[in-house]
């Protein structure tokens, strides 16, 4: 194989790898909700992202702070949660925010994930893994 062919092959492989990395990053999104008043905006963001990125995109919602009350049996957010879950989003709730509000894991609405290590740690983990960060 001549040097020009080898160089061309290596450049093609590098470009292909770069494009696949870029596509993977675009298809991994974490939305951060800590303000309960932004629940409708969050739900709309999930809908819009799913429409734009397609069904293969990995969409994670991390909820902490005062917003956790929207995902307990005390709230009337079941319909919005079901919309997000129906769109394939993972909805994860901070254990520390629940404890600070004297709420229990068993009070979470079905379909949510309990983050034992907290919401902030999960946000850091996902961003380090290449997830795009969005705060409605």
Q: Mean pLDDT for the chain?
A: 87
Residue pair 72/78 in contact (Cβ under 8 Å)? The answer is no
The rounded percent of the chain whose pLDDT value lies above 90 is 77
Q: Residue 61 pLDDT more than 60?
A: yes
pLDDT for 76: 79
Cα–Cα distance measured from residue 123 to residue 133, given in angstroms and rounded to the nearest whole number:
8
Cα–Cα distance measured from residue 70 to residue 109, given in angstroms and rounded to the nearest whole number:
9
pLDDT for 74: 77
Domains in the chain: boundaries: 27-134
Q: What is the CATH number of domain 27-134?
A: 3.40.1260.10
pLDDT for 109: 96
75, 61, 62: which is closest to 117 by C-alpha? 62
């Amino acid at each position: 194989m001549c040097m020009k062919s080898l160089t061309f092959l290596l450049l093609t492989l590098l470009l292909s790898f770069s494009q696949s990395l870029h596509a993977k990053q675009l298809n991994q999104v974490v939305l951060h909700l800590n303000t309960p008043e932004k629940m409708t905006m969050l739900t709309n963001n999930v809908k819009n992202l799913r429409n734009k990125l397609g069904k293969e995109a990995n969409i994670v919602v991390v909820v902490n702070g005062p917003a956790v009350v929207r995902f307990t049996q005390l709230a009337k957010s079941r319909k919005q949660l079901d919309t997000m879950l129906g769109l394939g989003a993972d909805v994860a709730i901070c254990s520390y925010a629940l404890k600070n509000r004297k709420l229990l894991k068993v009070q979470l609405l079905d379909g949510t994930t309990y983050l034992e290590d907290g919401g902030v740690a999960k946000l850091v983990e996902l961003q380090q893994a290449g997830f795009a960060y969005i705060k409605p």
